[in-house]
Structure 1
Amino acid sequence: MFKKALLAGIVSSFSLFAAACGTGGSESSGSGGGKPETLVVVDWGGTVTDARKDTIFKPFEEEFNVKIEVESPTDYGKLKAMVEGGNVTWDVVNIDTFWGEQAGKQGLLEPIDYDVVSKEDIIPEMANEYSVGAEMYSSVIAYSTDKFSEDNHPKTWQDFWDTEKFPGARGLYNDPLETLEIALLADGVKPENLYPLDVDRAFKSLDKLKEKTEIVWWDAGAQPVELLSTGTVTVSTAWNGRITEAKKDDAPVDLHYNQATLSSESWAVPKGSKNKELAMEFIHFATSAEVQAAFSETIDYSPVNEKAIELLPAEVQERLGQSPEQAESQVIMDPKYWAENYEEVSQRLQEWHLKK
């Protein structure tokens, strides 16, 4: 997985949980009395899994008389070995959305059964052949509040590239996914014209920034907060939850959601799951509006269900960058593009780093 935002502690949302219990679709064979079935759900661990336990796993267990066994972290190599060895013990796995596109074509995942899983209110880019979005997170313009004020800070990627108006070193994620989109937006490409990415133009844009100032490349989600707080950089890309959490701890950082790129993780079912039907029921439940809203109230990931966004209080929408005005300015990444091009473009980024 590329990134995990370690975010707010878990709070209760019992009213939403109660509503969620009516949205599980048709009853599975695990409903009713008797010994509950076991569904093995694989997740990344940490606070995101803690949030799911309270908002998704426990309500699903109660509604379907199912015992959810959680394993972590997600391991693509292990999933592949299980499927190829014909000994699949996992039922549902949280994965990077673009990886799901690759894995599905390689025969590692079951096609999503949309007779069970409703995609009526799911953001279209999140309802794919082999996976359904679980949550989204934003790559934002983050800045040092010691260097810039709330009224005077970079508000676009062109501002991010403008080191005369907003001086200082820059922080960028050391991965082509999101970084190339940002470089193109900084060079004036309109969001609707991003894909397929003009890779040559993106690297020329990065060349321009490299000529102006030092670029500090980060690999882990906690690094932008540290880079900004210590003054190593004045502006950086960052995952929204890392910045909102750091702000709660009075770190001298803030963010701007304009032109943020939205990435996602998704639910998928390994090929050969022994509980495929129940796994599809779980995905249906986990992506329903009420359950998604409960999850997003406890941790700073955005829903993939558009009705869930409407259920969130205005202040939560604002914090997640999902108020109507903020959401309109964000760019949803194209997982199909990256499924086909990630390895090639990633290699090119590494070669670019070696250039003087």
Structure 2
Amino acid sequence: MVLSKSWKVGAVAALILSLAACGATSASEGEDVTLTWANVGGQEAEREKAAFHDPFTEETGIKVESVAFSNLIAQLQKMVESGKPVWDVVHNVPYVALKYCGELLEEVDYSDFPDVFPENTTTDCTVPAGKFGFVYAYDNEVYTDEVPTELADFFDTETFPGQRVIRANNPRGYLEMALLADGVAPGDLYPLDIERSLAKWDTIKSDLIFVPAVAAVQQALVSKQATMTMTISTNLGAAFDAGATISPVWDITFWDFDVFMIPKGSPYKDEAIEAIKFALQPERQIENAELGGNTPVRTDIDPATIDFEGSTEFNPFIGDDRGELILFDSAWWAENLESASESWVAWQAG
């Protein structure tokens, strides 16, 4: 059979397009691959290098370079719009993915992963990584005869006088806690009534210390500038280990999870998936937790069996005396983070 010239040209073009498509998501044979893994930097980057990156490189030969992001969404938008994403894996929170799934982030095929994730922790563009709590704590050297036992006590400055330290730039958790303390039932929280929450915060505004980051929360507790706080559980553990004389209040506690995601157009999507699958192996998750990271999100890992570095007193997933646990509504925060943050900052300035 004689093939026409036009058929030959078409076949060659199709082959080239097919090869180009393959090359767009995975390395060419023999290519020396280095994945770029973006996270918040600092201790998290050090932990992930030890627990995930170095063992992955040793097993696969694929190198991993860790970089810290400063403005995640803006950086993602710029690199995706340019058609030249320089990150292959991002470790952050899920509400970013819910808002930008398919636009700035690749969709994930869950058939590649084991069915070991808690309900409501998977999305089309993310894989759960670890979990943590948002916990209320107080200085046990200041409050001795009568101690806080419920969320309402945080807002009772007559019975429990003293400065409270909270983050200035992120209202997540604070809006929910104030509404619960004001009598809203957990099942009726969302959509959040921001105006009502800020009115509750306004009742103790003169007793609040606003700080820009979790590290400053820790410093205020250790130095006894503040006698109460609400913050991330791992931050409380670090403060305790640094000398803060604090105890948790197990009334109603929120929990959340962080996620792995892949920027849209990553040239090494297939390798990124392999790196994420590796990081989710039980031994990798446990080592990360033992180095000070979040509690493994996998349901087949018992947190009580992990030799965590430092105190576990503030870990809401260990023990049966941790009160009621509520998962943050990431879908609500995906839609409302910007407006809620603007209201939070404007209230502070008012």
User: Per the shorter chain, which TM-score range?
Assistant: 0.7 to 0.9
Question: Which one of 175, 184, 204 corresponds to residue 180 of structure 1?
Answer: 175
Amino acid at match of 2:203: K
User: What secondary structure is seen at the aligned counterpart in 2 of 1:222?
Assistant: helix
Tell me, in whole angstroms, the C-alpha distance in 2 between the residues paired with 1:177 and 1:48: 21
- Which residue in 1 is equivalent to 2:4? none
Query: Quick check: 1:113–1:280 contact (8 Å CA) kept in 2?
Result: no
Structure of greater Rg: 2
1:302-328 C-alpha deviation (Å, 9 max, x unpaired): 222122235733877655231142566
Gap runs ≥5 in structure 1: 1-28
**Residue among 291, 312, 317 paired with 1:322:** 317
- Aligned match of 2:302: 309
Q: Give the match's secondary structure for 1:70.
A: strand
Residue identity (%): 29
Instruction: Give the letter aligned to residue 39 of structure 1.
Output: L
Q: 2-side partners of 1:35 and 1:271: how far apart?
A: 21
Distance change in 2, residues 1:61/1:75 (3 Å): farther
CA contact (8 A) 1:288 1:305 kept: no
Return the match for 2:332 from 337, 340, 343.
Answer: 337
The match for 2:81 is 84
TM superposition shift of 1:276: 1.1
- Asked whether the equivalents of residues 130 and 296 of structure 2 are also in contact (C-alpha less than 8 Å), the reply is yes
Shift of 1:296: 1.1
For the aligned residue pairs, the C-alpha RMSD in angstroms reads: 2.7
AA at the equivalent of 1:142: A
Match of 1:53 in 2: 49
Instruction: Give the match for residue 94 of structure 1.
Output: 91
User: Retained in 2: the 8 A contact 1:144–1:229?
Assistant: no
My pick for the range that moved more, 40-49 or 73-82, is: 73-82
Q: Distance in 2 between matches of 1:99 and 1:222?
A: 23
TM-score normalised per structure 1: 0.80
Deviation at 1:288, TM superposition (A): 3.4
Give 2:161's aligned residue.
167
Aligned equivalent of 2:214: 221
Cα distance in 2 for residues equivalent to 1:319 and 1:138: 8
> Which sits farther off after the overlay, 169-178 or 302-311?
302-311
Paired residue for 2:239, among 229, 240, 246?
246
Q: Across the two proteins, how many residue pairs are aligned to each other?
A: 321
Structure 1 Cα separation of the partners of residues 239 and 171 of structure 2:
25
Moved more, 308-317 or 231-240: 308-317
2: CA distance between counterparts of 1:185 and 1:236? 16
8 Å CA contact retained: 1:290, 1:308: no
Q: Give the residue type in structure 2 aligned to 1:282.
A: A
Look up the match of 1:297. Answer: 290
CA distance in 2, matches of 1:52, 1:327: 28
| Partner Cα distance (2:220, 2:38) in 1 | 32
Match of 2:9 in 1: none
Q: 1:304 to 1:259 in 2, by over 3 A?
A: same
Structure 1 residues 18-57: aligned runs within 5 Å: 37-57=33-53
Q: For each residue in 1:178-210, what CA deviation from the matched residue of structure 2 results, as whole angstroms up to 9, or x when unmatched?
A: 110111121122333322212232123223333
Q: Is the 8 A contact 1:39 1:91 kept in 2?
A: yes
Gaps of 5+ in 2: 1-25
